[in-house]
Amino acid sequence: MLVAPSLGYLVLSPMLIVFAGAVLGVLVEAFMGKTHRAAVQFTISVGVLLISLQQLWRIRDISSTTAAVDSVTIDKAGIFLQATVVLLALIAVFLIADQDNFVAQASAVPGSNEEAIALQQKNQQTEIFPLFLFAVAGMMLFPVATDLITLFVALEVFSLPLYLLAGLSRRKRLLSQEAALKYFLLGAYASAFFLFGAAFLYGYAGTISIRGISAAAGSANDVLLLIGIVFVSVGLLFKISAVPFHSWTPDVYQGAPTPITAFMAACTKVAAFGAILRIFYVGFAEAQTLWRPIITVIAILTMVVGSVVAIAQRDVKRMLAYSSIAHAGFLLSGVVALNKDGLAASLFYLVAYGLTTLAAFGIIGLVRDSTGEVTDLNRWIGLGKKSPLIGSIFAFLLLSFAGIPLTSGFIGKFAIFSAAYQSGNIAIVVAGVLSSAIAAFFYVRVIIMIFFTDPVNDSVSVIIPSVKSKISISIATVSSIVIGIAPSALLTAANNFANFIK
Amino acid sequence: MNLLTLVGALPLVGAALIYLIPTKDSELVKKFALLVTSLVAIAAIFLAVGFDKSITSLQYAQSYSWIPTFNINFALGIDGISLVLILLSTILVPIVILATWNESEGGRWSVKTFYVLILILETMMVGVFAASDLFLFYVFFEAMLIPVYFLIGGYGTGNRSAAAVKFLLYSLFGGLLMLASVIGLYVIAGNQIGATFDLTQLATLEIDNQTENFLFLGFFIAFAIKAPLWPFHTWLPDAAKSATPGTSVLLLGVLDKVGTYGMIRFCLALFPDASKTFTPLIITLSVISIIYGAFMAIGQKDIKGLIAFTSISHFGFITMGIFAMTSQGMSGANLYMVNHGFSTAALFLVAGWMMSRRNSSTISDFGGLQRVTPVMAWSFFIAGMSGLALPGLSSFVSEFLVLVGTYTRYPVAAIIGTLGIVLAALYILIPIQKTLHGPITEGNENMKDLNLREKISIAPVIAIIVVMGFYPKPVLDLINPTSAKVVVDAGYSDPIAEVNK
């Protein structure tokens, strides 16, 4: 006989609110007239994110391992990660609300009459908002999920909307659809790996709970455990675009509508790293001799390949994609560190990186010519002369990515590398600083293009951003600056919240 | 408010206030920048007046918690070595502003931006010499690159953006190696005495030999790039050729001193054993720098390149003096840092005026300047003589001290180093002969001599060069106790009785 499980509605409420908002969004999309739909959808999105944030604040001191039977654990680190996702999503939604970036009618064939008519009649559909909320909800579930099936469900819940969103660009639609398809196929492949590994882990431990796996570690043949860990890791490493599972990243970052790229780059990283941290710190910590060497090698490879290949990029979105790969490598050193400092440093790094990324992609969305965004770096030449403010902000963000002191990136790097050094993993620190030096090259090169080269006479210009984009970019930039100069509040918070219930 | 904080913060406040001045009024911007930096220089002189020479511990010390999670403090404090370098920096900045009044025009950006960058840079320069917290030092050390990068890339000449990038990447590479060492130290401190970045506490750590060597190298390479020591020097000539004369003065005169200062403050103080291990290698590199820089300088056809390579030679002397590990060598090296700052400033500023009048930086384009522009020629002559360490001018004292200090421990190095002085005569006298004497080269007949502004700005520099040549005692009094302490703390004692100077 089935017993109805008891659910901890209070601690689950932040997620449930976002899910409810998403469902509501679908209904609005179906039943509401087009005149006010966009405004209503936007209000719903902002509203549920704010309420969810407020709920997270209310439950900040509560922890529970039985909120949804055994499959969700709400603890300090989980709440911090959820709050990070919500906050970044809240900033991202202001970028996404700039409807001009999205196709009016996704079902219309690119270049068809239908598409032209939809554009002409301003029949803009607003399905992006519910899709976005579903993705956010999935991302909130992912880092708190503590059994393999819930993890898989969360993974799919946030991935599927992203696959769709990636294909909704208004301009360069074929590129966008190609990116979506690529993302979907490779993502499905990675999901299969994850499931495959989950099956092995179940076979090994007799349970799908990651705490159960941790308890069972060492009790039977390690080969099964190793295979399980490796395949589950492949699925997760794909999401954070670690080398050698990174090949989708540049294509998807380039093809997806820029606000979606911003959202994806910032929030997916938080969610996926949250899950990885939890799985490795809680589930696989007992088996660290099995996986630590592997993840160390992957981390080093990720940093180096990301930094080196970025040098060859001629497209700003692709460059930032490779830069995000390099940053995934830096973040992995926090996973390998496997100590409290490593967790705290990772939490800090995720916030700092997320904010900088949102602002950077927000600015990329502003640089346009008559056919839409211009991402070719050669056409960014002399941008600093045309628009000194935007040029300076972008230069600052690049310096933050590069980790120059007095930026948030530097503090993050310092924190995460000292945690890695603390754990005795000096190779990763040396590889980290060397690849930072390589990475500095391509960041600096962009600054040269923006500032030190005279603009060639072409039509690229910085559009005057809409109020919403302005809000989004300035919040992200200002917080990034503040975190760089006075990081102690966030560092203390990250330290206080760096705790997984085992 | 602590006077030291005032010296450091004043330029930053000035930089903020400059924004209130309308962009078009560039004369007002310049005057304001001159006023602020002069005030800073005066404040710095008061700093020296209030400094107690008999104490070797940090003075004007203060500490505020900045990032408690890592126990990072905004901790400042100066001893004799830091003080003279702060004096050097703060005195040079207003001189540079006055001397290169029109340099900021014709850059990529506005005049205002130029002075904002200069003022920010000045804050960083004071900060880097005053920081007594390793993390804070690192922040200044790295953040300082950004204004210089924009100064070279935005206002320089020739292939300026390439030079700026080369400068930045070299320095960043060194800085990141140093970051790895900083992290290492932080973690070791955390395991032994609790996480700290306080320099005096870090100096007490017990580090095993192999780790210490690696940590030392992380710091040393960063400083050797900055200093610059052969073979890490290749960025300097490009940067010096592309930067404006004023920026070059700050770059060679002050920023590069951060490298040698760092060797004293961090390499020796934190890793005395590793310093001992690497001393033979470093002395060798210094000697190579002295000779290599001198030979390269002889071959230069470009005035800026000439000055850059003479500096490489001089930095060889400074590094040799530091790692000779005698109190004379250490005092000499410290004094050399100051003297080199002023003589390079004189050389670059006068060379800058010559170049802007002639629109050329090629040595052979000048000739017979002595007859056309006597004041300018004499200034250049004195600066050059100081560069070759003519007795009676400031560099002589320091070069002599360095060689004496080195000889007692490394006689061969000192003897080869002396060869550098002979070569210095060549690389200075030949260009002086070519530019100042002989027939007036075509195109120079109507060259204008220094105007009043230029005379006013060069006068103090030349005065300092001459006075310090005859009477270096005030500066040596500041430097000597600290230098002796550095040598003793590193575990050395002088091989022979101290020379009374």
Rounded to a whole number, what is the distance in angstroms from the first to the last CA of chain B?
A: 37
What is the pTM (predicted TM-score) of this model? 0.91
| Full pLDDT tens readout for chain B, 501 residues | 688 888 888 888 988 888 888 878 888 888 888 899 999 999 999 988 888 888 878 888 888 888 888 888 888 888 888 999 999 999 999 998 888 888 777 777 788 888 889 999 999 999 999 998 999 999 999 888 888 888 888 887 777 888 888 888 888 888 888 999 999 889 888 888 888 888 888 888 888 888 888 999 999 999 999 888 888 888 888 888 888 888 888 888 888 889 999 998 888 888 888 888 898 899 999 999 999 988 888 888 888 888 888 889 889 999 999 888 888 888 889 998 998 889 888 888 888 888 888 777 787 777 777 778 888 888 888 888 888 888 878 888 888 888 888 888 888 888 888 888 888 888 888 888 888 787 777 777 777 777 888 888 888 888 888 888 888 888 888 888 888 888 888 877 776 555 544
**Furthest C-alpha separation in chain B:** 71
Decide if A452 and B108 are in contact by the 8 Å CB cutoff: yes
The residue behind tokens 């979907």 is A184
Token pair recorded at residue B33: 């920048």
Establish if B170 touches chain A: CB-CB under 8 angstroms. Answer: no
Question: Considering CB atoms only, which of B142, B187, B190 is closest to A404?
Answer: B142
Q: How many CB atoms lie within 10 A of CB B64?
A: 9
pLDDT of residue B1: 64
Mutation choice for A interface testing from B179, B188, B213 by most A CBs within 10 A: B179
B195 within domain boundaries: yes
Cis preceding linkage at B231, omega within 30: yes
The type of residue at B112 is: K
pLDDT of residue A459: 62
User: What's the rounded Cα separation, in Å, for the pair B16 and B239?
Assistant: 28
Question: Considering CB atoms only, which of A452, A453, A491 is closest to B69?
Answer: A491
Backbone CA torsion sign across A483, A488, A493, A496: positive
Token pair recorded at residue B444: 């120079």
B310 within domain boundaries: yes
The type of residue at A335 is: V
Establish if B183 touches chain A: CB-CB under 8 angstroms. Answer: yes
pLDDT of residue B501: 47
- Output b/e per residue, A389-426; b: 16+ Cβ within 10 A: ebbebbbbbbbbbbbbbbbbbbbbbbbbbbbbbbbebb
Contact B104, B86 (CB under 8 A): no
Q: What is the DSSP string of A319-339?
A: HHHHHHHHHHHHHHHHHHH-S
pLDDT of residue B202: 83
B469 within domain boundaries: yes
Contact A225, A287 (CB under 8 A): yes
Mutation choice for B interface testing from A452, A481, A496 by most B CBs within 10 A: A452
Residues in chain B: 501
Residue A231: C-alpha distances to residues A200, A201, A225, A301, B28 (Å)? 9, 10, 10, 18, 68
pLDDT of residue A457: 66
Contact B309, B297 (CB under 8 A): yes
The number of domains in chain B is 1
Average pLDDT, chain A: 89
pLDDT (average), residues A473-500: 91
Identify residues of A whose CB sits under 8 angstroms from chain B CBs: 399, 402, 404-406, 410-411, 413-415, 417-418, 421-422, 426, 429-430, 432-434, 436-437, 440-441, 444-445, 448, 451-453, 487-488, 491-492, 495
Chain B partners within 8 Å of A436 (Cβ): 176
User: What's the rounded Cα separation, in Å, for the pair B51 and B84?
Assistant: 11
Question: Considering CB atoms only, which of B67, B160, B186 is closest to A418?
Answer: B186
| Nearest residue of B to residue A449, measured between CA atoms | B161
Q: How many CB atoms lie within 10 A of CB A195?
A: 17
Summarised one tens digit per residue, pLDDT across range A288-305 is 888 899 999 999 999 999
Measured in angstroms, the CA of B259 and the nearest CA of chain A are apart by 18
B262 is in which domain, residue-wise? 3-489
Q: How many CB atoms lie within 10 A of CB B374?
A: 13
Contact A346, A334 (CB under 8 A): yes
B497 within domain boundaries: no
Question: Considering CB atoms only, which of B108, B165, B183 is closest to A418?
Answer: B183
Mutation choice for A interface testing from B137, B183, B214 by most A CBs within 10 A: B183
- Output b/e per residue, B191-214; b: 16+ Cβ within 10 A: eeeebbbbbeebeebebeeebbbb
Summarised one tens digit per residue, pLDDT across range A317-360 is 999 999 999 999 999 999 999 888 899 999 999 999 999 999 99
Q: Residue B131: helix, strand or coil by DSSP?
A: strand
Is the ipTM higher than 0.90? The answer is no
**Furthest C-alpha separation in chain A:** 76
Token pair recorded at residue B458: 């060069």
Contact B79, B48 (CB under 8 A): no
Angle between helices A388-402 and A426-447 (to 10 degrees): 170
pLDDT (average), residues A452-472: 79
A188's CB contacts (< 8 A; 6+ apart) are none
Q: Residue B439: helix, strand or coil by DSSP?
A: coil
B499 within domain boundaries: no
Establish if B158 touches chain A: CB-CB under 8 angstroms. Answer: no
**Is the pLDDT at A99 greater than 80, yes or no?**
no
pLDDT of residue A156: 93
